[in-house]
Chains A and B, each alone.
Chain A
Amino acid sequence: MNCAAFRRDDVSMPKLNIDEREIEVAAGTKVIEAAARLGIMIPRFCYHPALGSVGACRMCAVKVLEGPVKGIQMSCMLDAADGMKVSTQDKEAVEFRRCVIEWLMMNHPHDCPVCDEGGHCLLQDMTVSGGHGIRRFPGKKRTYPDQDLGPLVQHEMNRCIHCYRCARFYQQFCGYRDLGALGIGNRTYFGRVASGRLESPFSGNLSDLCPTGVYTDKPSRFLGRRWDYQRTPTVCINCSLGCHAVTSVRYRQVVRLEARMSAAVNGWFLCDRGRYGFFYAGLAGRPRQAAVRGETTAMDEALDHARNRLEAFPPDAVAVIGSPRSSLEALAAAEQVSRLKGWRGPALFTDADAALKVRTAVARLEAGLAVSLEEIGQADLILVAGADPVNEAPMLALALRQASQKGAGVVVLDPRPISLPFGFVHIPAAPVALGAVLGRVVKKSVGPAGLDGPAARFHASLPDDPAPGPEVLARAAELLAGSRRPVIVCGTDIATSELVDLAADAALLLAAAQKKPGLFYILPEANAFAAGLLAQPEWTTDRILQAAVDGDVKALVFVENDPLAAFPDRELLEQALATIELLIVLDYLDTPLSRRAHVFLPTQTLYESGGIFINQEGRAQYSAPACAGGAPVLETGGGDHPPRVYGGGLPGADPQPAGQILARLAGDALLPEIRTPQAAVAGSIPQLAEFADGAALPEEGLRLTSKNLSADRFHSGLPPAASADPNEIEIILSERTFGTEELSSYSACLETLEDEPFAGLHRKEADSIGIRDGDRIAIRTANASVELAVKVFDHMAPCAMVVPRLRSLPWQVLGKRIRRQDIRKV
């Protein structure tokens, strides 16, 4: 054995010959990938580009005619070498692959007609194409018991062909341990130690990954075959990452969502929130007809009514409130209509602070600093400030894990009890102190030497780490100092606007210190970046509501916004709603607000209208319409097929794109600027003018990161020190993977995955008020009382209480701080 032979310092490009065709590939490329470049799809089961080569299934056997090793070899395990000659069609290789199929089919049940995988099953394809038609093995088939894996994944272990993809994905790729391989030999079992719901928030990928029907999609079980589905590329809008997905539509209903490979964004996978977050679009209770004062009304009539009512007010008494869950077309229309009509708004953020954070992130995300999820996976250190990846943007946690697996350090500055599927350094500082901690870590890791001008002044302005500082901070600084490609991830939920600003300057400082840093913000909703680009600083929801209470605004138009769930000041909201004379609501969700509207106008979802969404890294991406709209056949037919409904037109097809409704509300002001959604987009974001048709956008989207930034550079500062009352506890409202995000909270299958409402307390804090883990407490506020179970943590900030912003919890009453004496054990 010669050790030198194993080193891969050879940078040459080997040229090899596969099936009499030449190809040149990068050193280290496996033969299976080299063949794929030639369009030769070598059969495989265990090999997956994201999970790598393990040589378990032996399906990718080829014959090497010339090369360092000869004969039958597994193409997934074999590095392409110069001068190699490979045959995929050699008789010996074909015969062996046929035998592999025979082996795998020894125990595979003949239940294809009732298997959901049938029609897109890799094993089915290989069995047919591999020539194994007739069973000659006389033995009986092995049987296994199945498990209940929860509401998302159906388990049918008898179909297993033991490719180990599920165990490798679940444990190695994602870092969760509750599903894997058990037992040995041909009794090897893939599942959990006992039935129970899967703990990983990425479990739905098992259905995509499994080459046969062991794991199938439970919510879409028995709803159709692959060829029955109308499949359309889409973009996930259940958080700000904008992962790529594919919708499957049947009978006017989205029934399934799968991951769509995107090299830059989500890779091959999707989180469960995104995968199962689409059910709102096909709910039986979805409002599909316009209503005036609660009376179902024809769409045109309702529109005319609404327009006439609006015309009666002076423009200045009308205000538009939107939200970042709308498509860019709707947001742009809201902006242009408001401007042209002289209405107030659109307000796209709840208050000035929320707006400032997003606007700061959008402004500070320089083209040179912005990194994609894929680039995070390549970073050698990631500093996460004021963000909870698994709960705020789950796929980010997966990208961080890939970096961590490659040796990158991960440091998290966050007051909450952060949990990630890998080891990391956690510094639990209070939200207002995060900036100072970030400053100290960065200052300690980058010396003043070599810095000049604004970078040097900024460095000097950062706080020093008092010696001896906390060990964990020194460790973080040491990791950052040793990195070459660090990335700073910054949230915008619990983070202050100063932290959002500081994160960008910290990244710039690292660049000045000769590193290649990246900057990655997490934004509050799918289209928050677009909202940040469009929002007028003077318009926020709280100001408009205040104006309504003051009598200045008399008509409110809510566009795809549910303030009763999301707006923190319930009192102000109720006062405003009670004061105004006209409430118009445009939405596709059945929200409490839409039931109170004077005029309700149903809008289309992303799957019907299509639309552009700009993700948190400024990537404008288009999602094409997936279906024509109309109520699902299963709903209108009452379960019958074909539905016995006669009449013209599509039932339930009244909803229109929100942008179009807004344009019609604008009436005679319908100017060329907003006549079409494309015109509205082009008018609002000139950069997108040539792509305003959405479908023209490139597959991986178009980055809209700001280019002109010099004014903001190195001007950030720390937030003013808050004078905290020592008798008070800060409430940190926090996102959860399931149960806080608006759209996915309409998915019935995700309900059981939601956390029970809880109050997270540091052990010291809990001890000081005599509470133990699992106790129930009642929190008394000015005019309400909330009861919660307590979870006690060691790794979170003291003097704080973490409460999930669950939609099932009246979190609004808690406010920002509570007094200790208002906490009572139940």
Chain B
Amino acid sequence: MGPANSNMYPQVLFKNRHPDRIATFEEYRAGGGYQALADAIAHRTQAEVREIVLDAALLGRGGAAFPAGRKMMTIAEDAPHPRYIICNADEMEPGTFKDRVLIHADPHLLIEGIILAAWSVAADRGIIFIRPEYENAARILEREIGVAKAHSFLGPNILGTGYSFDIVVHRSAGRYICGEVTAQVNALMGQRANPRQPPPYLTQEGLWAKPTLVHNVETLACLPHILQNGADWFKGLARTATGAGTKIFGISGKVKQPGCYELPIGTRLSEIIEACAGGMLDGSEFKACLPGGASTGFLPRQHYHVEMDFDALKKVGNRLGTGAIMVFDHKTCLVAATLNLMEFFARESCGWCTPCREGLPYIRDLLARIEAGEGEPEFVPMLEEMKVHLYRSYCAFAPGAAAPLESLLAHFKEELQEHIREKRCPFKKEPGQGVAELVKPRFIA
């Protein structure tokens, strides 16, 4: 697969990607795989590795964009053992599928990344926390972990250095909130997957109250390349001065070639849509997109040429998130799209704090009424109010859920008001579902 013109872009994470099969251990080795690990263990100190990752300005690819090197450095030298490293493969952000593609393309890249991160903080045990729908990926990983062990890259006494480390694959019970790191650690301990506010931070007291480092799949997959080629090389991959590395963009929606593309950080949105995804569908005009998954805001037409970089998106009041671009055309009702997202967030709220547990169904209900043609003018100020209050929630879930609503109100308020004025959804030719269906009370059995 890959973009039609993938030779235009340097392929780092996807360099062993085949259209029809998984890269083998031998292929991975032949391309220099596990060399970064061998070199690091043989020639570098653990502190040096952490330093290099910090220098590379690698930002977490799971959506929060926290500097990966800085996170590693919060594990103190004298921190107690056992220390844990968790690879967050609970990819549940709507529209996001990069981690699955990455694991299916080149599983050993991830495995080496985990071992490198683990070694740099002297972790004793690794866990890949994977969403249950990714059963195939889980089996691939389990199989390839066995291969890595057979070659002494994993298990007791790795490469004869005396360092021992093992990885287990843990299938989540399957909730969006389990992707939140503190909730994930609670879930691993058999507790309810409610987030926990720091301090203490996970790197101080995480899994079983021991230091725990949690990184996203893509973040970890960057490590072997950074170690092998250096921080400056990594930073040079980006097209913007503030960015570093490449990014896997998962593009979906009203484009001709939806898919997963590895592109330099800072590639313009217009270029991604036109050059990689083959442009908009015939008869479709770009209206807006969600640039980084469901918890980012609608990016309107005026930012069509924005550089897809953490900083650049922040400047236009949005976020790069997971880099999952969902494209909407001029025939799509964004009230309905927001309602769809709210359905998801209201369902997936862990139920811990009031703004999230009650505020999201509140918003969902109002949007459903508006979409069904039963909106009232006073719903708009009510939505404005709710949007502000969602930011006073316990964790980042509700503020993330607020992003689509916030951008709807900021950029597409007229569309919302048209629904209310006209008492119907202007995008629907046929009368749609009645409100009764949309806001059906849920009986909990």
A contacts, CB < 8 Å to B: 1, 3, 6, 55-59, 61, 72, 77, 96, 99-100, 103-104, 106-107, 136-145, 161-162, 164, 181, 183-189
Interface flag for B293 (CB, 8 Å): no
* Docked CA distance A56–B362 (Å): 18
* Docked CA distance A99–B390 (Å): 10
Inter-chain contact B199/A58, CB cutoff 8 Å:
no
* Docked CA distance A77–B394 (Å): 10
A137 contacts which chain B residues (CB < 8 A)?
362, 365
Inter-chain contact B74/A136, CB cutoff 8 Å:
no
> What is the CB-to-nearest-CB distance from A139 to chain B, in angstroms, rounded to a whole number?
4
Inter-chain contact B355/A186, CB cutoff 8 Å:
no
User: Which of B354, B389, B392, B441 has the most C-beta atoms of chain A within 10 angstroms of its own C-beta?
Assistant: B354
A72 contacts which chain B residues (CB < 8 A)?
392
Partner of B444, one of A106, A136, A183: A183
* Docked CA distance A162–B193 (Å): 16
On whether A58 and B394 interact (CB within 8 A), knowing A139-B365, A141-B441, A184-B177, the answer reads yes
Which single residue of chain B is at the shortest CB-CB distance from A187? B444
B365 contacts which chain A residues (CB < 8 A)?
137-139
Interface flag for B26 (CB, 8 Å): no
What are 24 A-B interface contacts by the 8 Å CB criterion? A1-B201, A6-B199, A6-B201, A100-B355, A103-B354, A103-B359, A106-B361, A106-B362, A107-B358, A139-B439, A142-B442, A143-B443, A145-B444, A162-B351, A162-B354, A181-B351, A183-B351, A184-B177, A184-B193, A184-B349, A184-B350, A185-B349, A186-B360, A187-B444
Which single residue of chain B is at the shortest CB-CB distance from A101? B354
B443 contacts which chain A residues (CB < 8 A)?
143
> What is the CB-to-nearest-CB distance from B124 to chain A, in angstroms, rounded to a whole number?
20
B348 contacts which chain A residues (CB < 8 A)?
184-185
On whether A3 and B74 interact (CB within 8 A), knowing A77-B197, A141-B441, the answer reads yes
> What is the CB-to-nearest-CB distance from B387 to chain A, in angstroms, rounded to a whole number?
11
How would residues 336 to 352 of chain B score, 1 for a CB under 8 Å from any chain A CB and 0 otherwise? 00000000001111111
Inter-chain contact B369/A138, CB cutoff 8 Å:
yes
> What is the CB-to-nearest-CB distance from A63 to chain B, in angstroms, rounded to a whole number?
11
Inter-chain contact B347/A185, CB cutoff 8 Å:
yes
Interface flag for B382 (CB, 8 Å): yes
Which single residue of chain B is at the shortest CB-CB distance from A161? B354
* Docked CA distance A796–B416 (Å): 71
Interface flag for B204 (CB, 8 Å): yes
Inter-chain contact B385/A99, CB cutoff 8 Å:
yes
Those 6 A-B pairs whose CB atoms lie nearest each other, nearest first: A103-B358, A188-B351, A139-B365, A140-B441, A185-B349, A6-B199
B442 contacts which chain A residues (CB < 8 A)?
142, 187
* Docked CA distance A107–B351 (Å): 14
* Docked CA distance A77–B443 (Å): 34
Inter-chain contact A58/B76, CB cutoff 8 Å:
no
User: Which of A6, A144, A184, A185 has the most C-beta atoms of chain B within 10 angstroms of its own C-beta?
Assistant: A185
User: Which of A3, A56, A181, A186 has the most C-beta atoms of chain B within 10 angstroms of its own C-beta?
Assistant: A186
Which single residue of chain B is at the shortest CB-CB distance from A73? B392
Which single residue of chain A is at the shortest CB-CB distance from B204? A3
Which single residue of chain B is at the shortest CB-CB distance from A45? B354
* Docked CA distance A189–B442 (Å): 13
B392 contacts which chain A residues (CB < 8 A)?
58, 61, 72, 96
Interface flag for B357 (CB, 8 Å): yes
* Docked CA distance A145–B443 (Å): 9
Which single residue of chain B is at the shortest CB-CB distance from A140? B441
Inter-chain contact A56/B200, CB cutoff 8 Å:
no
Inter-chain contact A99/B389, CB cutoff 8 Å:
yes
A141 contacts which chain B residues (CB < 8 A)?
441
Inter-chain contact B74/A140, CB cutoff 8 Å:
no
Interface flag for B445 (CB, 8 Å): yes
* Docked CA distance A206–B384 (Å): 37
Partner of A55, one of B346, B357, B394: B394
A185 contacts which chain B residues (CB < 8 A)?
346-351, 357, 361
Which single residue of chain A is at the shortest CB-CB distance from B441? A140
The count of residues in chain B whose C-beta lies closer than 8 Å to any C-beta of chain A is 47
Inter-chain contact A186/B346, CB cutoff 8 Å:
yes
B360 contacts which chain A residues (CB < 8 A)?
186
Inter-chain contact B192/A181, CB cutoff 8 Å:
yes
Interface flag for B353 (CB, 8 Å): yes
Extra A-B contacts (20), CB below 8 Å, given A56-B394, A58-B353:
A55-B197, A55-B353, A55-B394, A56-B353, A103-B362, A138-B365, A138-B369, A139-B361, A145-B444, A145-B445, A162-B354, A164-B352, A184-B349, A184-B350, A184-B351, A185-B361, A186-B349, A186-B357, A187-B351, A187-B442
Inter-chain contact A186/B441, CB cutoff 8 Å:
no
Partner of A162, one of B175, B347, B357, B378: B357
Interface flag for B393 (CB, 8 Å): yes
* Docked CA distance A61–B389 (Å): 11
* Docked CA distance A188–B358 (Å): 11
Inter-chain contact B444/A144, CB cutoff 8 Å:
yes
Which single residue of chain A is at the shortest CB-CB distance from B349? A185
Which single residue of chain B is at the shortest CB-CB distance from A100? B354
Inter-chain contact B354/A57, CB cutoff 8 Å:
yes
On whether A140 and B439 interact (CB within 8 A), knowing A99-B385, A145-B445, the answer reads yes
B351 contacts which chain A residues (CB < 8 A)?
162, 181, 183-188
> What is the CB-to-nearest-CB distance from A326 to chain B, in angstroms, rounded to a whole number?
48
* Docked CA distance A96–B387 (Å): 12
A58 contacts which chain B residues (CB < 8 A)?
353-355, 392-394
> What is the CB-to-nearest-CB distance from B193 to chain A, in angstroms, rounded to a whole number?
8
Q: Which of B306-353 contact A (CB under 8 A)?
A: 346-353
Which single residue of chain A is at the shortest CB-CB distance from B192? A181
On whether A3 and B76 interact (CB within 8 A), knowing A106-B358, A183-B444, A186-B361, the answer reads yes
Inter-chain contact A1/B74, CB cutoff 8 Å:
yes
A188 contacts which chain B residues (CB < 8 A)?
351, 357
A6 contacts which chain B residues (CB < 8 A)?
199-201, 204
> What is the CB-to-nearest-CB distance from B208 to chain A, in angstroms, rounded to a whole number?
15
Inter-chain contact B439/A186, CB cutoff 8 Å:
no
Inter-chain contact A104/B353, CB cutoff 8 Å:
no
* Docked CA distance A144–B347 (Å): 16
How would residues 386 to 400 of chain B score, 1 for a CB under 8 Å from any chain A CB and 0 otherwise? 100100111000000
* Docked CA distance A55–B357 (Å): 13
* Docked CA distance A184–B175 (Å): 9
Inter-chain contact B389/A56, CB cutoff 8 Å:
no
* Docked CA distance A238–B366 (Å): 54
B441 contacts which chain A residues (CB < 8 A)?
139-143
> What is the CB-to-nearest-CB distance from A127 to chain B, in angstroms, rounded to a whole number?
14
How would residues 106 to 150 of chain B score, 1 for a CB under 8 Å from any chain A CB and 0 otherwise? 000000000000000000000000000000000000000000000
> What is the CB-to-nearest-CB distance from A176 to chain B, in angstroms, rounded to a whole number?
16
> What is the CB-to-nearest-CB distance from A2 to chain B, in angstroms, rounded to a whole number?
9
Which single residue of chain B is at the shortest CB-CB distance from A145? B445
Q: Which of B403-444 contact A (CB under 8 A)?
A: 439, 441-444
A57 contacts which chain B residues (CB < 8 A)?
353-354
A145 contacts which chain B residues (CB < 8 A)?
444-445
> What is the CB-to-nearest-CB distance from B160 to chain A, in angstroms, rounded to a whole number?
34
Inter-chain contact A142/B444, CB cutoff 8 Å:
yes
* Docked CA distance A497–B132 (Å): 61
> What is the CB-to-nearest-CB distance from A193 to chain B, in angstroms, rounded to a whole number?
13
> What is the CB-to-nearest-CB distance from B130 to chain A, in angstroms, rounded to a whole number?
20
A139 contacts which chain B residues (CB < 8 A)?
361-362, 365, 439, 441
> What is the CB-to-nearest-CB distance from A237 to chain B, in angstroms, rounded to a whole number?
39
> What is the CB-to-nearest-CB distance from B210 to chain A, in angstroms, rounded to a whole number?
15
> What is the CB-to-nearest-CB distance from B344 to chain A, in angstroms, rounded to a whole number?
11
* Docked CA distance A104–B355 (Å): 9
Which single residue of chain A is at the shortest CB-CB distance from B435? A138
User: Which of A59, A136, A138, A164 has the most C-beta atoms of chain B within 10 angstroms of its own C-beta?
Assistant: A138
> What is the CB-to-nearest-CB distance from B136 to chain A, in angstroms, rounded to a whole number?
26
* Docked CA distance A189–B347 (Å): 14
A187 contacts which chain B residues (CB < 8 A)?
351, 442, 444
Q: Which of B148-184 contact A (CB under 8 A)?
A: 175, 177
Inter-chain contact B358/A104, CB cutoff 8 Å:
yes
A143 contacts which chain B residues (CB < 8 A)?
441, 443-444
